[in-house]
Amino acid sequence: MKLIAIVGTNSVRSTNRKLLKFIQTHFAEQASIELVEIDDIPAFNEPSDRQAPTQVQILSDKILSADGVIISTPEYDHSIPAVLKSVLEWLSYTTQPLIDKPVLITGASLGSLGSSRAQAHLKQILDAPEIKARIMPSAEFLLGHSGQAFDDEGQLTNSEKVAELETIFAEFIQFVEITNQLLAAQTKTKQAFSWK
């Protein structure tokens, strides 16, 4: 199985990146997981030539070729970072690669809540008609106090959180397989995007 893991921030010290790197290595035998950074994607602004930046097309192609997507978001002022919202705006207004794509949301924060409000907000955004991702239901991985959660080798030190993550990841693998089987059985025509 091929998955794309999106680091939902441009922070160079993000513990969400650490979380996704842990997921990448810990579940390497179950899935091939590619980490994707979004720090080089410019803020959304409808271009006069109606051409999205190259970085947006590259990300879109990666999403389209993946079986599923993991997004890990921090929480800024009870919501997701502006850079992540901007990337989702680019994708929704251009190639719309997240439509029907299975998505797992995770999040890490330095506080105790583990980005719970940001994850709730992200679910609302991913449910928008132009994005319309298939969000894994009844699942959220919240990593609080993430500044102390990893050792020097990047390993998650709390065995209970590791076990929780293993359960969620196993469910996500099943969710991806079932969702993609259902979609393969459907005959749907995707509408071409128009800036108008």
Q: What is the secondary structure of 32-94 as a DSSP string? A: EEEEE--TTSPPP---TT----HHHHHHHHHHHHSSEEEEE---BTTB--HHHHHHHHHHHHT
Superfamily of domain 2-185: Flavodoxin domain (3.40.50.360)
pLDDT at 112 over 90: no
Across the range 143-151, mean pLDDT stands at 94
Q: Express as a percent the part of the chain with pLDDT over 70.
A: 95
pLDDT at 127 over 90: yes
Q: How many CA atoms, within 13 angstroms, populate the side-chain half-sphere of residue 22?
A: 27
pLDDT band for position 139 (cuts 50, 70, 90): confident
**What is the model's pLDDT at position 188?**
61
The reported pTM is 0.92
The residue among 141 and 189 whose pLDDT is bigger is 141
**What is the model's pLDDT at position 73?**
96
Across the range 68-81, mean pLDDT stands at 94
> How does 155-167 read in b/e, with b if 16+ C-beta sit within 10 Å?
ebeeeebeeebee
Domain boundaries, the chain: 2-185
Q: Collapsing DSSP states into helix, strand and coil, what is residue 1?
A: coil
Mean pLDDT for the chain? 92
pLDDT band for position 195 (cuts 50, 70, 90): low
pLDDT, tens digit, for every residue of 13-65?
999 999 999 999 999 999 999 999 999 999 999 888 878 899 999 999 999 99
pLDDT, tens digit, for every residue of 176-194?
999 999 998 886 655 555 5
pLDDT at 133 over 90: yes
